[in-house]
Chains A and B, each alone.
Chain A
Amino acid sequence: MLDVCDLVKRFHTPGGETVRAVDGVSLTVRPGELVALYGPSGSGKTTLLKIVAAVIAPDRGHVLLDGRAITGLSERDAASYRLHRLGLVLQSAHMMAGLSAIENAAMKLIAAGIARDEARRRMMPVLERLGLDARADHRASSLSMGELQRLSLAKALSNDPPLLLADEPTGSLDTVRGRRVLRLLRERTRERATATVIATHDPQAARFADTVYTLRDGRLDTAGG
């Protein structure tokens, strides 16, 4: 379970102004629950995800995953947390063009020290589920935008994480492909009891969520389900 408690993150603009990107946000995401953070650009969604992903530290407040603090981790522990406990899907997928789709998808498993054959064996069902099995041995550079987005999802799910974060996962996809990705996210959340958070300004994405939080100027306005 993900607990976010009274998070505050301020940034200083070049003009000397202080912007509260995240301003006293608290929320909880249970296992098997898909939460959508809905809001316009600049509302603080991505900053919130960055804090939960332990890539930036909050100025105040804390984040707990299954009771263990995420905020204040050392760089090494933060990397280990992201490798073993977190799955991340971003709007732009930066794959390694020289590696095959399955090698890219299995990157987390390889980094965790799992043998390549075993990593491949584990990844094939995930790729099948995402409709990428026929493209498993193709180079990432030859995949389409939609395939890359699904590959990114496969990589995020490869370590079967208890927490899945997605930043604008449908931002670079058309409506049909976007819907397919959202459906996959919801199914996966249910099946593996994953706590999933999607940051989006796509109204369609909100419809797939169990709970929708609206963020405006860093503040959590409303919640619906």
Chain B
Amino acid sequence: MSGQDRLFIVTNDRVSPGRARLGGGLIWGSFALLVGVAAWQILGQTGRVADWGNWRPTLYAYCLWATCLCAAEVVRHGEQGKRRLFVMPAALFVGSMVFFPLVFGLGIAFSDWNLASPDGRRFNGFGNVVRMWSDPFYWNALGNMVWYVLAIVVEYAIALGLALLLNSQIRARKFFRVAFLLPLMLSPVAVSWMIGKSMMEARFGPISRVARWLGWDNPSFFGDPWLAKAVIMIMDAWTFIPFMMIMLLAGLQAIPRDIQEAARVDGANPWQNFWGVTFPLMLPVSLTAIMIRIIFKLKIADIIINVTSGGPGGATDSVTSFIFREYRDRSNVGYGTMLAFVYLVLIVIGFTLFIKLVSRWMRPQY
């Protein structure tokens, strides 16, 4: 047992040099096989050697290598290796699920690959980035995303108000908690059809009828660019405000009562109690809710695709709905993948900055 190892280890491993070599041989031997099979497959694709038809041999070689790697840990390190064996399969699986798609995704992103092209996939370096740079549809969609994300401020205010309401002693509180949660249980696709396509239908939709009754002669909820954008935001907000609300409600319920009671004893009125005590204490939960909501918002597509197809004139287009069109309608796999990667990078940078900026308020205050 190692003197520095504070864990109790049952066996005192004495790994012989031969055993260590065997472990190393297992790892490097299986790895060499994996490289060899993969190389054969790549050559097969180019027609230099017999093509196996699919990538299963490489997958099997990878699985063999992963198994050998796990086994070799025990062979080489004994008890310590067994400890690693507990996490190694999971780590390998997660790594595989991230690493391979990323590598293949990058390969596609740097390719000119239109599925209709008889030439298939062709490496084109930064060609897709150059194209993106001058693509007004992508920048328009990115610009729209800024507005969509900014709308979260309003959503947060509403969600916090509802959470405060549900946290107070009101009648039928349990009923309202369930009722306010209902929109979250609806699929955005259902919302887009039921509300956007039916209730807001310009001629017969009940909301349009109400609008006419209120004096709007020809109600058109998606005809004007800004109105269309706003209505899309409202439908999306209606679906997801309950999500923020429930998170904030949980945060409110976690605030110790004695802090607020102490403030009241000190003479704070309800507004001072909220602004000076509750709101600061809720900041960590609030920022977490906002961050998760931003992630949801950045993926907005279904409502837009169903209701406006990005129109009028691209006013409601989101990055995801634009990428969807590039992929589905135009089979432009290479360019679409690059757009998605750039979007991912922008999101990662944006989130890193955001977290850095708000980190001082993210720590629990009580």
Do A and B come from the same complex? no
| B→A interface (CB under 8 Å) | none
